[in-house]
Amino acid sequence: LVAIVIPAVARPAGSAARPQELWTVEVVDGAGDGQFTSMALDAAGRPHISYHDGVNRVLKYAHHDGAAWHTQVIDAAGWGWYTSLALGPAGQVHISYYDYYLANLKYAYYDGASWSISTVDSLTGAGEYTSLTLDAAGRPHISYAVRSGTVYLKYAYYDGTAWQFQVVDNTCYAGQSSL
């Protein structure tokens, strides 16, 4: 079960009183369970969510079009842990995630017509705790942990031609990061 809690502001009818926050719970996906979720709002304020469906062991994406929720499987082979979602300027969906099955960092991109999935870092153990952001050109930047002997923090970005990599810190136990 994947559910979302949405705040809404309401003012009592005919009242000049201060608005009260009300919370709405909506079921997004009743067919699985949502783990490692990430959410972003598009320009219209509609939610987009990436998540690992632990029951079916797949990476899923859900969005609300203003009337209903729509869900789809993005990667049925990679399991999709530690997802991070960002939306491009024209609403393109970008998702970074850890392929639990292959133990590496993957990136999924939806251009409005189809999904493209690529392996960013194939080093065994690369890709835990991903954090994704886009630069002004809409190119992805990802921070993530690598569990290879020790656990360290790494950074990858797409320069328009190829992925570039930097080790940020390999002197301490790296875990979650945020870009």
User: 102-121 pLDDT, tens per residue?
Assistant: 999 999 999 989 999 999 99
| 29 pLDDT higher than 90 | no
Lay out the sheet containing 81-87: strands in order across.
81-87, 93-99, 104-110, 115-121
* Stretch among 22-26, 112-116, 126-130 having the lowest mean pLDDT: 22-26
Give residue 85's pLDDT.
98
| Averaged confidence pLDDT in the chain | 87
Region 28-44 average pLDDT: 88
What value does the mean pLDDT take over residues 28-55?
90
CA neighbor of 63 nearest in space, from 81, 85, 82, 80? 85
Q: Residue 101: which region, alpha, beta or left (left: phi > 0; alpha: psi -120 to 50)?
A: alpha
With beta carbons less than 8 A apart as the criterion, state whether 14 and 36 touch. no
Q: Is the pTM of this model over 0.85?
A: yes
Q: Identify the pLDDT of residue 10.
A: 52
The confidence band for 151, taking pLDDT boundaries of 50, 70 and 90, is confident
**Alpha-carbon separation of residue 1 from 34, 35, 89 (angstroms):** 6, 10, 30
Q: How confident is the model at residue 6 (pLDDT cuts 50, 70, 90)?
A: low
- In this prediction, residue 97 carries a pLDDT of 97
Q: What is the mean pLDDT of residues 123-148?
A: 94
Per-residue model confidence (pLDDT) at position 14: 57
Per-residue pLDDT of 10-22, as tens digits, reads: 545 555 555 556 6
CA distances from 42 to 16, 54, 93, 114, 175 (A): 31, 26, 10, 18, 28
What is the spatial distance between Cα 101 and Cα 51, in angstroms, rounded to a whole number? 16
